[in-house]
Amino acid sequence: MFLPEVEKAVPGGLRGLEIKAAKAVGLPIPQILHLFAFKPDRTRHLMNFTQGVMRGPSPLSPGQRELIAALVSRKNDCPF
């Protein structure tokens, strides 16, 4: 991670609970979750926006949107 102090911070909010649960069972943690847990009051809007884009009204199904997001992440060499 580019910001180690973010990753080492005590995670907060709902994403913090997800990080703790994942660590407890040894699962890898997506780096974006560390950012969401670092300042949950400041990242809540980004999460709401993302959910709106991925789950809101659209001619594309949520599954199709997830597939597009996975493809774009792969093309950008970004773990998804």
Question: What sign results for the dihedral spanned by CA atoms 36, 74, 68, 64?
Answer: negative
**Residues 3 and 27: beta-carbon distance below 8 Å:** no
Would you state the torsion angle of the CA atoms of residues 45, 47, 53, 57, taken in this order, to the nearest 10 degrees? -80
Would you kindly state where each structural domain of the chain is located, as residue ranges? 4-75
pLDDT digits (tens, 9 = 90+) for 2-46: 778 887 788 888 888 888 899 899 998 887 888 888 888 888 898
What whole-number distance in Å separates Cα of residue 25 and Cα of residue 78? Answer: 23
Confidence (pTM)? 0.59
Per-residue pLDDT at 74 exceeds 80: yes
